Chains A and B, each alone.
Chain A
Amino acid sequence: MIDNVLKIKNGDTTGSVNDLLKEFLKSKKLQALLVMQEVPSKKMSFPVLISNPDKLNSNIFAPVLPVSTATIVSKITKVESSSKPIGVIMRSCQINALVELVKLNQANLDNIIIIGVDCLGTFSINTYSDFQEKSNPTEYILDSFKKKRDVVKYLRSACYTCKNPIPNNADIIIGLYGIDIQKELLIQINTKKGKELIHDIKLVTSKDIKNRENAIKEIREEKTKNRTKLIQEKSNIKGINALAKFFDKCVNCHNCMKVCPICYCKECLFESSVFNLEANKYISKAKKKGLFKMPNDSLLFHTTRMNHMVVSCVGCGLCEQACPSNIPLMDVITPIGDNAQKEFKYNPGSDIKEKIPMVIYKEDEYQEVGEK
């Protein structure tokens, strides 16, 4: 681990980072870069794949996660792994999701250089695009960070209860926590890949980053506290009554599944013809209970989806953001995920070599579940 700092020019944080990113493209050390950039209307920022440094005007600290960047890296590398170096700039939750996708053989990290960014939290798409403050959302969140102003009222709940806003498994980290971002940014090199990318770029080697450790500890503690509180508060969503009520507004659009980085099936069982029954079967189904709600099987969909993804859930909250009925899905998924991950002592995204719990086993485990 090598800590360098990037000096901020004229107080322009994003601009200074952009100069560094342009260097990567100009020197051809990266053939392309996946990074958040404002769309022309300036109302939204989306990930873009950039190859021309002159067109780069990234907004890497944009506090919004419109789509899963892990899914995009999977899209780029799944058909054929990259033969040329691509830099991908991601938040911690998305790097975790990418690690899970690699384990599930849905992405390939050959020639992918992961540049992680400390995450200050993200706003929902609508909060971001119709931002109520005078400054734009990116300026606002950076300014709030400098002045230690609370942004909780704008944060998505998934970010409020984030497990870890510091990237794990990144080749390079662009660090904010514990850094005086008025003057500088941390450029932390974690791997050989990262070192090769940065080696002839002029940076200042940092001597004093003691603040960072404390700042990281502080933010993790704060988020863990929020998370524990949420799990406690939502523990009353238990039992068929409460759960049926919770999913009352579900319209079976399956958006939560479509945006989930972990739900990778090409064709989801619930979108297939398996559940299209003959008219007579629908009638006998109605006769059994006297009536049933249509479209049917919404709770079956949600419980099955949880069974399939919850062990690898990174808590990005995209499911909740995509719900047209505003069902606070994370209120249920966070506690269930927490439980399941504890059961298998598994922390999604933490270790790329560790296999996912559903493909491994020990001969003498869980004997109380099977038989003694």
Chain B
Amino acid sequence: MVIEMEEFEPKIVGFLCNWCSYAGADLAGTSRIQYPPNIRIIKVMCSGSVDSVYIMRALLEGADGVFIGGCHPGDCHYLDGNYKARRKAVLLKSILETLGLEKDRIWIRWVSASEGQKFADTMKEMTEEIKKLGPNPIGKYWNI
């Protein structure tokens, strides 16, 4: 008897900024570009507004990856939100180590409103990478 293992489909929570990345994802959709449906998109006004509590909550609730999408450097609608988002990610990653989670579960990328293809490619790449990492072990813990 052959038991077919169901392939692990990662759950990714994505925070996309209103001005660039969300519009980029929208363009991917309207252009009918195919990409893995593993991301659950949450629109935020700016990548800089993504507090660590959002990311921590996603990971502690068992999300396998967190994606933060912002405008390209220099293009932030609020001038420097994306640079600050990047610093926050640096801090978060240094704490993630203590939690025993791989740093690569958090992705921060720049996707502009015209980069539908780039958004789709990034999603493919991220889904593949998270599949390699496997499920988030925290998902099983009920006592945290």
Could you tell me if B60 and A300 are in contact, using CB atoms closer than 8 angstroms? yes
In-complex Cβ contact of B88 among A298, A310, A343, A358 (8 A): A358
Cα distance, A239 to B138, chains bound together (Å): 10
Could you tell me if B95 and A306 are in contact, using CB atoms closer than 8 angstroms? yes
> B86 on the interface (CB 8 Å rule)?
yes
A58 CB, min distance to chain B CBs, angstroms: 40
> A345 on the interface (CB 8 Å rule)?
no
Could you tell me if A366 and B97 are in contact, using CB atoms closer than 8 angstroms? no
Q: Which of B45-68 contact A (CB under 8 A)?
A: 51-53, 56-57, 60-62
> A217 on the interface (CB 8 Å rule)?
no
Cα distance, A300 to B61, chains bound together (Å): 9
- Please classify how large the interface on chain A is, using the bins under 10, 10 to 19, 20 to 34, 35 or more: 35 or more
In-complex Cβ contact of B95 among A242, A303, A363 (8 A): A303
In-complex Cβ contact of A288 among B62, B90, B143 (8 A): B62
Could you tell me if B100 and A290 are in contact, using CB atoms closer than 8 angstroms? no
Could you tell me if B87 and A358 are in contact, using CB atoms closer than 8 angstroms? yes
Cα distance, A344 to B95, chains bound together (Å): 13
In-complex Cβ contact of B53 among A293, A300, A357 (8 A): A300
Q: Which of A226-263 contact B (CB under 8 A)?
A: 237-244, 247-248
Cα distance, A237 to B95, chains bound together (Å): 12
Please give me the residue from chain A that is nearest to B106 by CB atom: A369
Chain A positions within 8 Å of B101 at CB level = 240
> B120 on the interface (CB 8 Å rule)?
no
Could you tell me if B90 and A366 are in contact, using CB atoms closer than 8 angstroms? yes
> A67 on the interface (CB 8 Å rule)?
no
Q: Which of B122-144 contact A (CB under 8 A)?
A: 137-144
Please give me the residue from chain B that is nearest to A250 by CB atom: B144
Could you tell me if A292 and B142 are in contact, using CB atoms closer than 8 angstroms? yes
Cα distance, A366 to B90, chains bound together (Å): 8
Q: Is the interface of A mostly helix, strand, loop or mixed?
A: helix
> A208 on the interface (CB 8 Å rule)?
no
Cα distance, A244 to B73, chains bound together (Å): 38
Could you tell me if B56 and A336 are in contact, using CB atoms closer than 8 angstroms? no
Chain A positions within 8 Å of B100 at CB level = 238-243
Please give me the residue from chain A that is nearest to B100 by CB atom: A239
In-complex Cβ contact of B89 among A299, A362, A369 (8 A): A369
> B36 on the interface (CB 8 Å rule)?
no
- Please classify how large the interface on chain B is, using the bins under 10, 10 to 19, 20 to 34, 35 or more: 35 or more
> A191 on the interface (CB 8 Å rule)?
no
Could you tell me if B143 and A304 are in contact, using CB atoms closer than 8 angstroms? no
In-complex Cβ contact of A304 among B56, B93, B97, B144 (8 A): B56
Proximity bits, B33-52, A CB within 8 Å = 1, else 0: 00000000000000000011
Please give me the residue from chain B that is nearest to A245 by CB atom: B143
Proximity bits, B63-85, A CB within 8 Å = 1, else 0: 00000000001100000101110
Could you tell me if B52 and A308 are in contact, using CB atoms closer than 8 angstroms? yes
In-complex Cβ contact of B86 among A242, A336, A340, A370 (8 A): A370
> A339 on the interface (CB 8 Å rule)?
yes
Chain A positions within 8 Å of B83 at CB level = 361-363
> A311 on the interface (CB 8 Å rule)?
yes
Asked, given contacts A238-B100, A358-B87, whether A244 binds B143 with beta carbons under 8 Å apart, the answer is: yes
> B30 on the interface (CB 8 Å rule)?
no
Q: Could you tell me which A residues sit within 8 Å of B by CB distance?
A: 237-244, 247-248, 269, 288-293, 297-300, 303-304, 306-308, 310-311, 332, 335-336, 339-340, 343-344, 357-359, 361-363, 365-366, 369-371
Known: A243-B100, A339-B94. 9 other contacts (CB 8 A): A238-B98, A240-B100, A240-B144, A241-B100, A289-B141, A293-B144, A332-B98, A369-B90, A371-B109
| Nearest 8 CB-CB pairings of A with B | A239-B100, A307-B52, A361-B83, A299-B144, A304-B53, A292-B142, A289-B142, A293-B143
23 A-B pairs, CB-CB below 8 angstroms? A238-B100, A239-B100, A240-B99, A240-B137, A240-B138, A240-B141, A243-B98, A243-B99, A248-B143, A304-B56, A307-B88, A310-B95, A336-B98, A343-B90, A343-B91, A358-B87, A358-B88, A362-B83, A363-B74, A363-B83, A370-B73, A370-B86, A371-B108
